[in-house]
Chains A and B, each alone.
Chain A
Amino acid sequence: MTHTFAAQLNSLLAALILLSAFALLAQRKIMGLVHIFAWQGLLLSLSTAVIGYASGEHHLYISSLLTLGMKVILLPYILYKLVHKLKIHRDIEAVVNVPTTMLLGIILVVFSYHLTAPIRELSNLMTRSTLAVALATIMLGMLMMVTRRHAVTQILGFLAMENGLFFAATSATYGMPMVVELGVALDLLIAAFIFGIFFFHINTTFESLDVEQMAKLKETD
């Protein structure tokens, strides 16, 4: 596998990741969202492995495996369990409707490319062109958090943002130091547990996971 091939493969994976990010925005079923999230994790894992192979940074294999374990198996499993336990299979409601969200997403992608243009000029890594995709994934994740009303979608948006960050790290500098990556993985796991506990509490308090309900907590004057 030559470098150019690896770069092209990586670009393809990046494109798929971006596609999955849009899919997250478009999907209306919660289970569907969890599946797409798992797919995104798989793509991320593959991309990390490819970069690791092409650049000779072999610790990226460990990152890749971690990603596979965490984001493809463990987290989706936890979310799957949660959704079943809390019986929330119905459609999710968006604050802004899906087509508008998609349009906003496209603007954000263009914006990301515009932002990373100077970095592309300066960098000589083979992954430099994918930095824009990483930034776009982060922004799309955030957009998802802003536009969705359901607590589980907020978490998925957050996790998608984390995916984007991870992707940015690998594409900009061939990954973070191992210690940092391990720490982040652990944090993510703990975050997932905490979210799970919070879901239960929110659900029992408001009898719903709609975060709009939480506006009741505001002090009125």
Chain B
Amino acid sequence: MPAALDIAGFSVLLLLVLAVAAPLFRPVRTLQITLVFSLAAVASLAAVVAGVMTVADGSVASAAMTLGLPGLPFHLRLDPLAGFFLVVIGLMGFFVSIYSIGYVKGYGGQRSMTQMICFYTLFLAGMLLVVLADDAYFFLVAWELMAAASYFLVMYEDEKGENRRAAFLYLLIAHVGALAILLAFGVMAGQSGRPVFDGYTFDAMRTAQLTPGWAAAAFFLAFFGFAAKAGVIPLHVWLPEAHPVAPSNISALMSGVMLKTSIYGICRFAFDFIKEFPWWWGGIVLVLGLISAVMGVLYALMQHDLKRLLAYHSVENIGIILIGLGLSMIFAAFHLPTLAALALVAALYHTLNHAVFKGLLFMGAGAVLHATHERNMEEMGGLIHRMPWTAPLFLVGCVSISALPPFNGFVSEWLTFQAFLLSPSLPHPLLKLLIPLGAAMLALTGALAAACFVKVFGVVFLGQWRGHQKRERIHEVGPSMRAGMLLASISCLLLGIFPTWVIGWLDTIPEQLCGGRLAESAGKFGWMWLTPIAHGRASYSGPMVFIGILAVVAVTWLLLHARATSSRRVPIWDCGFARLTPRMQYTASAFSMPIRRVLGFLFAVREQVEVVPHTNHPSLPGSLQYRLRIRDRFWNWLYVPQGDAAYWIARQVGKLQQGRIQIYLLYSFVTLIVLLVFLG
């Protein structure tokens, strides 16, 4: 049996080889796509195997490579935390690679596939290397590889101005974040007390003795950098721009997996490098998580663009993960290892779950886009009849993200709630009071997310077709796309039904990071029952709920279909109107109207109603036009002033450039004189 690190290394190497070899197959297009994406799926699977093995036995393996600069070799390390993220990346890489075979072929002959394939494999390899890297230098190289590859993937359809703008915004924020991470590493390395260049390894950072001030500086710089990548509010603006314009398989990877690498980074910094921190660090993480969760879902509710909506849901879910992490940090700061373990497991579990169901949803959105060539939900409807596979698979994703049992989203959010409800055991009165408020906000988030996905599924798949093109031209997607979505749906279900096994498997991570274990108490009553802390407090049985739901559904179905006459198909009841048209349906904006009315002050909403009078009878309205524009307030609050300030400064500096030679000469002359006066 080869070592886990070797398998992971093989996986990365295979991806890099694919990136180099892909152009060779260029003449045979179908072969190129099928071969490369199949092999990418194999490589992803290898990463999953390596990760599962490492997490299961809690082993730590490290290696120094001969690559890198002289005297600064690259270091690799595979510990359970890295292993877990290998699983997240590999699992989604596997599903999405299978899905991509069909999706990418759908682009037809009009553009080069090689670009997509090369950057796709580089992107996967970059993400794997980020979690494998064991020194700041290699980490940043991998981080930038990931960012650059994804930039080119967002730019894939670069003839559209919208795409170029989104990609630039993404690159800009990614680089500001990378700069902050670089500074954080600099602080850690500088304070590690080692000779100049030895501080760059993560080992040196683990043993560094930091003063509280420097530790806070390092952590918050890193947190800022990772938050920019994760899309934590207010650094989220690139997400709803970049995700919709990227090809859907890329959106699935970016949203499902790439954002998670920043969760990995935050875990690494907080629990592995710094270890001892005051509780307010966790408090800040928690508050930002709460804001991201609530604002993310509210913004998502307002969207009509399917992929944009999903992008805002990524903001929400990153918020939920950060809530878990923040709680875990608070518990760890008060030396409550079991509770810290619970919150950390909740966060990591949600990381895995979000990767799977968000990947599934983006793949579903891609399938819809592939079939209808439409992103606007108001132009869809009734797709369940035309896409009998995609619709139920998408529904699985919707139910999962809405945190409803028996799927996986429920388990991790439930665990987060359990962590919240245990906060009264904290020895700090203020926190005891405030944290339950957070629980209430998390509950609100869940409810709003459910409302949002009722809207998505209802408007896109139910009702009647609203689009311009002929409904008959819409076809179900091909087998590989269905396979990718089906596998992700099955994962959603399994992760939801057997949480006890997953937690037992995850147990080595909290043990190494915060010294607490969970599996013993969580699995006390066998795999049927999940009892995170004590069975008297709370328990959940995934299998029982699943069987119950299955039973109810089966009985209902039987009752409906037992006799052939028990159900009849008749025309839709038209409420007495003579003729029903698709335009009479409930629309997406109508669905979110009540929430827009109540919470409208949080958005920059502009509504316009225009009445065009009837041509024959001017007193009668002929037609009504309704325009709705919702903008992100953060854009105007934070980004526009910064951009304006930069332009203003540039314009002022530009005045130096007079265009007259004498003035330029005068500058050097005056400089010379001033220097002579002051230094002479």
Q: Does A110 contact B (CB under 8 A)?
A: no
Which of A7-15, A177-185, A210-218 participates in binding chain B? A210-218
With A115-B680, A146-B665, A221-B651 known to touch, is A215 a contact of B672 (CB < 8 Å)? no
Give the interface size bracket for A toward B.
20 to 34
Q: A115-B676, A221-B651, A221-B654 are in contact. Are A215 and B669 (CB under 8 A)?
A: no
Interface positions of A from 119 to 157, Cβ below 8 Å from B? 139, 142-143, 145-149, 154
Are B680 and A211 in contact, with the CB atoms below 8 A?
no
Is B666 in contact with A146, judged by CB distance below 8 angstroms? yes
Query: Smallest CB–CB gap between A17 and chain B, Å?
Result: 20
What are the interface flags for A189-221 relative to B under an 8 Å C-beta threshold, 1 for contact and 0 otherwise?
000000000000000000000011011111001
With A111-B673, A221-B651 already in contact, the answer to whether A146 and B662 are too (CB < 8 A) is yes
Q: Is A86 an interface residue when CB atoms closer than 8 A count as contact?
A: no
Specify which chain B residues have a CB less than 8 angstroms from the CB of A139 in the assembled complex.
673
Majority SS at the chain A contact face: helix
B491 to chain A, nearest CB (A): 56
Contact A142 B662 (CB under 8 A): no
Tell me if B657 counts as interface (CB < 8 A to partner A). Answer: yes
| Candidates B660, B676, B680; contact of A215 at CB < 8 Å | B660
The residue from A142, A215, A217 contacting B665, defined by CB atoms under 8 A apart: A142
Inter-chain contact A146/B669, CB cutoff 8 Å: yes
Question: B571 — which chain A residues lie within 8 A by C-beta?
Answer: none
* CB–CB A147/B659 < 8 A: no
- In the complex the two chains form, what is the Cα distance from A217 to B673 in whole Å? 28
Closest to B676 in A: A115
Query: By the criterion CB–CB under 8 Å, are B661 and A143 in contact?
Result: no
- Contact indicator A142/B658 (Cβ below 8 Å): no
Instruction: Please provide the chain A residues from 88 to 118 with a CB less than 8 Å away from any CB of chain B in the complex.
Output: 95, 111, 115
Q: Give the residue name and chain of the A residue nearest to B670 (CB).
A: A146
**Are B659 and A215 interface neighbours, CB within 8 A?**
yes
Query: In the complex, which residue of chain B has the Cβ closest to the Cβ of A214?
Result: B661
A-side contacts of B668, CB under 8 Å: 142
Q: Which of A147, A154, A218 contacts B657 (CB 8 A)?
A: A218
Q: Which of B641-678 contact A (CB under 8 A)?
A: 651, 654, 657-662, 665-666, 668-669, 672-673, 676
Chain B residues near A149: list those with CB within 8 A.
Answer: 662
Residues of A within 8 Å of B680, CB to CB, are: 115
Give min CB distance, A64 to chain B, whole Å: 28
User: CB within 8 A of A218: which of B651, B658, B669, B672?
Assistant: B658
Q: Roughly how many angstroms separate A9 CA and B668 CA in the complex, as a whole number?
A: 34
Given the interface contacts A115-B680, A142-B672, A221-B651, does A147 sit within 8 Å of B662 by beta carbon?
yes
Main secondary structure of the interface of B (DSSP, over half): helix
From the candidates A111, A142, A211, A216, name the one contacting B661 in the complex (CB within 8 A). Answer: A211
Which residues of chain A have C-beta atoms less than 8 A from B662's C-beta?
Answer: 95, 145-149, 211
How far does the alpha carbon of A190 sit from the alpha carbon of B28 in the complex, in Å?
A: 59
Chain B residues lying within 8 Å of A211, measured Cβ to Cβ, are: 660-662
Query: What is the distance, in angstroms, from A140's C-beta to the closest C-beta of chain B?
Result: 11
Docked complex Cα distance between A157 and B651 (Å): 32
Residues on A with beta carbons closer than 8 Å to the beta carbon of B654: 221
Chain A residues with CB under 8 Å of B665's CB are 142, 145-146
Nearest B residue to A115, CB-CB: B680
A111-B677 Cα distance, complex, nearest whole Å: 9
What separation, in Å, do the CA atoms of A111 and B666 have in the docked complex?
17
Whether A214 lies near B669 (C-beta < 8 A) is no
A142 near B659 with CB under 8 A, answer no
A49 CA to B658 CA in the complex, in Å? 44
Which residues from chain A contact B669 at a C-beta distance below 8 Å? 142-143, 145-146
Bound Cα distance from A61 to B335, whole angstroms? 86
The reply to whether A218 and B659 contact each other, CB–CB distance below 8 Å, is yes
Shortest Cβ gap from B659 to chain A (Å): 3
Contacts of B672 in A (CB 8 A): 142
Contact of B660 among A111, A147, A148, A214 (CB under 8 A): A214
- In the complex, are the beta carbons of A215 and B651 less than 8 A apart? no
B669 to chain A, nearest CB (A): 5
Residues of B within 8 A of A95 (CB): 662
- Looking at B660, B662, B666, the one whose CB has the most chain A CB atoms below 10 A away is B662
The smallest beta-carbon distance between A25 and chain B, in angstroms, is 14
In the complex, what's the smallest C-beta–C-beta distance from B672 to chain A, in angstroms?
7
CB distance from A2 to the nearest CB of B (A): 34
Choose one: A111, A148, A214; the contact of B659 (CB below 8 Å).
A214
Q: How far is the CA of A115 from the CA of B675 in the complex (A)?
A: 11
Q: Whole-angstrom distance from the CB of B635 to the nearest CB of chain A?
A: 25
Q: What string of 1s and 0s marks CB contacts (under 8 Å) between A14-33 and chain B?
A: 00000000000000000000
Instruction: Report B443-466 residues with CB < 8 Å from chain A CB.
Output: none
Nearest chain B CB to A199's CB is how many angstroms away?
14
Provide the residues of chain A in CB contact with B673, threshold 8 Å.
Answer: 111, 139
Shortest distance from the beta carbon of A21 to any chain B beta carbon, whole Å: 15
A147 to B651, CA, bound (A): 27
- Residues of chain B within 8 A (CB-CB) of A148 are 662
Closest to A95 in B: B662
Cα A115 to Cα B210 in complex, Å, equals: 50
Which A residues lie within 8 Å of B659 (CB)?
214-218
Q: Hey, what's the 0/1 contact readout for B320-349 against A, CB within 8 Å counting as 1?
A: 000000000000000000000000000000
Determine the chain B residues whose CB is within 8 A of the CB of A212 once the complex forms. 660
Which residues, 603 to 654 on B, are CB-close (under 8 Å) to A? 651, 654
Of all chain A residues, the one with the shortest Cβ separation from B654 is A221
Give chain B residues whose Cβ lies under 8 Å from the Cβ of A142: 665, 668-669, 672
Which of B651, B658, B661 sits near A154, CB closer than 8 Å? Answer: B661
Residue of B nearest to A157 (CB): B665
| Selected A-B contacts with CB under 8 Å, 22 pairs | A95-B662, A111-B673, A115-B676, A115-B680, A142-B668, A143-B669, A145-B662, A145-B669, A146-B662, A146-B669, A148-B662, A211-B660, A211-B662, A212-B660, A214-B659, A214-B660, A214-B661, A215-B659, A215-B660, A216-B659, A218-B657, A218-B659
Residues of A in contact with B (beta carbons under 8 Å apart)? 95, 111, 115, 139, 142-143, 145-149, 154, 211-212, 214-218, 221
Leading 3 A-B pairs by shortest Cβ distance = A218-B659, A215-B659, A211-B661
Seed contacts A214-B659, A218-B659; 9 additional CB < 8 Å A-B pairs: A111-B676, A143-B669, A146-B665, A148-B662, A214-B661, A215-B659, A216-B659, A221-B651, A221-B654
